[in-house]
């Protein structure tokens, strides 16, 4: 008692293990390298194009939304003020505008009551994964390479993930069926499968219409839910628009995740989830059935209470000013991404398709839209090689193996082109070519990279 025990000793090993997850800490290295090599061309930033942002727009969006509440919704002044300033409806207050957007852009009719507006799509993933994992038997399937945000949500929600193979046409349905069977043999309960049907992050892969229908049939047969996340569908560069899974969903098997990060702006942190699945109540409670959305809202009331009112109002105003069409709202950005995608593919062809001895060991996919191209290299593309690439050749990219949780993708790099100019892209792909030549030369004379 006379000895002062001193300050409390906290060790990282006393904290929840998700604080040290390798998939997520690797993203820290990327940011750190971007800061350390500011002149490097960065193909690693996944953020949207920012050339059309104007701070003055925010106030106008707020006023547009205020007029909507007054004129279209007919709310008295006191209620309008309350919408902007007070604790609000847990499921949010722009759900009707979101439903309108889905009808305008996708021909999808959803009950606004089945929508929960969330603090970005990230919170929607956390709520959903928390809801679906009741006990240690529950497991979530996901096409792999997987979106790093979904991996993170699973870690923090304590949801075990099981990988399903992906090919150029998106999720491998045969492997999905195999993984479901294997999980059941182990006494596990596969609850849902996560997919990004259009221009997936990180692979750029897209599902055919035939596979979309087959996935829904498989899900019905196996009695699992499908979690659809489709933020890049707005940025198609070629080929016909395909219906979203939710548009094809006749049996309420699809839970659809939505985001305004790639359309309006990422900083708003406004996303949503459509969860129109009826949930049978506990027999003892005497309560009526609720939608899965209502249960997710209960979890949301414990995580963030409600989505920021100002953020919702800004997004609401943005939707209203664009006739509730995100396609119309993002036409300029879509043109930028289309041009950038073409420039990446052209540059890759001109750098690697013409240099003798390189074409056969460098390959890449050709997505029809989105923000990502994946390049397969003739050497290991890990964090050490990334640092070498940044310091010696001034080009940054994202090692793909992080998205495979370290099981594959060791020779692949994701090239993200959303914030670059065509000139930067040409320059960057040229630098990537120099890195490949350097590695080939070292390999030929038997010297490993330092």
Within 133-162, the residues that bind its own copies by CB under 8 A are 133-134, 149, 152-153, 155-156, 158
* Cβ-based nearer residue to its own copies, 8 or 445: 8
For residues 116 and 91, give the distance between their C-alpha atoms in angstroms, rounded to a whole number.
4
- For residue 294, the minimal CB distance to its own copies (Å) is 9
Site for its own copies in 21-40 (CB under 8 A): 24-25, 27
| Interface pick for its own copies out of 120, 170, 190, 433 (rule CB under 8 A) | 120
Residue 88 in contact with its own copies, rule: CB under 8 A: yes
* Cβ-based nearer residue to its own copies, 305 or 441: 305
Residue 366 in contact with its own copies, rule: CB under 8 A: no
Of the candidate spans 86-94, 194-202, 337-345, 362-370, the one that interacts with its own copies by CB under 8 A turns out to be 86-94
| Interface pick for its own copies out of 55, 109, 444, 445 (rule CB under 8 A) | 55
Strand residue runs (E) in 45-159: 115-118, 138-144
Which tokens in the block code for residue 17? 């293990």
Residue 16 in contact with its own copies, rule: CB under 8 A: yes
| Interface pick for its own copies out of 33, 41, 42, 66 (rule CB under 8 A) | 66
The residues, any chain, with a CB within 8 Å of residue 356's CB and separated by 6 or more, are none
Q: In angstroms, what CA-CA distances link 371 with 162, 165, 227, 262?
A: 26, 21, 21, 10
The residues, any chain, with a CB within 8 Å of residue 345's CB and separated by 6 or more, are 364, 366, 373
Residue 8 in contact with its own copies, rule: CB under 8 A: yes
Taking residues 221 to 250 in sequence order and writing x for each that binds its own copies by CB under 8 A, - otherwise, the string is x-xxx-------------------------
* Cβ-based nearer residue to its own copies, 293 or 435: 293
* Cβ-based nearer residue to its own copies, 233 or 307: 307
| Interface pick for its own copies out of 91, 130, 411, 431 (rule CB under 8 A) | 130
Residue indicated by tokens 């056969």: 360
191: exposed, middle or buried (Cβ count in 10 Å: 0-12, 13-18, 19+): buried
* Cβ-based nearer residue to its own copies, 143 or 296: 296
Residue 384 in contact with its own copies, rule: CB under 8 A: no
Number of residues that bind its own copies (CB under 8 A): 97
CB 398 within 8 A of CB 42: no
- For residue 143, the minimal CB distance to its own copies (Å) is 19
* Cβ-based nearer residue to its own copies, 288 or 356: 288
- Give the chain's end-to-end CA distance (angstroms, integer): 55
Q: In angstroms, what CA-CA distances link 182 with 176, 177, 189, 223?
A: 10, 9, 10, 15
For residues 228 and 274, give the distance between their C-alpha atoms in angstroms, rounded to a whole number.
10
| Interface pick for its own copies out of 38, 39, 54, 240 (rule CB under 8 A) | 54
* Helix axes 77-85 and 309-321, enclosed angle (nearest 10): 110
Residue 59 in contact with its own copies, rule: CB under 8 A: yes
Site for its own copies in 289-348 (CB under 8 A): 290, 292, 295, 298-299, 301-311, 314
Residue 445 in contact with its own copies, rule: CB under 8 A: no
For residues 165 and 107, give the distance between their C-alpha atoms in angstroms, rounded to a whole number.
30
Residue 281 in contact with its own copies, rule: CB under 8 A: yes
- For residue 26, the minimal CB distance to its own copies (Å) is 12
For residues 233 and 118, give the distance between their C-alpha atoms in angstroms, rounded to a whole number.
20
For residues 204 and 53, give the distance between their C-alpha atoms in angstroms, rounded to a whole number.
26
């Amino acid at each position: 008692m006379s000895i002062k025990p001193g300050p409390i000793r906290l060790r990282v090993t006393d904290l929840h293990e998700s604080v040290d997850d390798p998939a997520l800490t690797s993203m820290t290295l990327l940011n750190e390298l971007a800061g350390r090599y500011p002149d490097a061309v960065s193909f690693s930033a996944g953020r949207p194009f920012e050339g059309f942002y104007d701070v003055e727009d925010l106030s106008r969006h707020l006023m547009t939304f205020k007029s909507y509440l007054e004129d279209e919704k007919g709310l008295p002044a006191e209620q309008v003020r309350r919408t902007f300033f007070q604790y609000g409806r847990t499921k949010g207050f722009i759900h009707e505008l979101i439903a309108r957007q889905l009808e305008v852009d996708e021909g999808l009719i959803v009950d606004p009551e089945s929508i929960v507006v969330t603090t970005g799509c990230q919170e929607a993933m956390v709520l959903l994964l928390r809801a679906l994992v009741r006990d240690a038997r529950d497991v979530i399937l996901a096409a792999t390479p997987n979106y790093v945000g979904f991996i993170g949500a699973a870690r923090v929600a304590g949801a075990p993930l099981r990988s399903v193979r992906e090919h150029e046409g998106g999720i491998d349905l045969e492997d999905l069926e195999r993984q479901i069977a294997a999980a059941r043999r182990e006494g596990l309960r596969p609850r849902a499968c996560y997919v990004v049907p259009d221009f997936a992050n990180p692979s750029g892969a897209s599902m055919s219409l035939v596979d979309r229908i087959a996935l829904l049939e498989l899900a019905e047969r196996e009695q699992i839910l499908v979690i659809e996340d489709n933020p890049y569908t707005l940025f198609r560069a070629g080929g016909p628009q395909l219906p979203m899974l939710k548009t094809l969903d006749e049996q309420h098997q699809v839970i659809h995740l939505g985001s305004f990060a790639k359309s309006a702006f990422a900083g708003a942190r406004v996303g949503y989830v459509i969860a129109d699945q009826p949930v049978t109540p506990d027999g003892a409670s005497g309560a009526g059935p609720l939608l899965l959305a209502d249960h997710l809202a209960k979890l949301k009331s414990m995580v963030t209470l409600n989505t920021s009112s100002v953020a919702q109002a800004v997004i609401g105003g943005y939707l209203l000013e664009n006739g509730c069409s995100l396609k119309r709202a993002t036409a300029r950005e879509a043109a930028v991404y289309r041009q950038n995608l073409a420039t990446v593919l052209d540059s890759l062809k001109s750098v690697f398709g013409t240099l003798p001895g390189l074409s056969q060991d460098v390959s890449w996919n050709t997505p029809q839209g989105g923000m990502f191209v994946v390049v397969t290299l003739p050497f290991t593309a890990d964090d050490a090689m990334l640092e070498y690439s940044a310091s010696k050749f001034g080009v940054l990219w994202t090692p793909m193996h992080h998205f495979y949780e370290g099981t594959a993708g060791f020779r692949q790099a994701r090239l993200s082109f959303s914030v670059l100019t065509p000139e930067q892209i040409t320059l960057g792909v040229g630098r990537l070519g120099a890195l490949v030549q350097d590695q080939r030369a070292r390999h030929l004379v038997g010297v490993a990279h330092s």
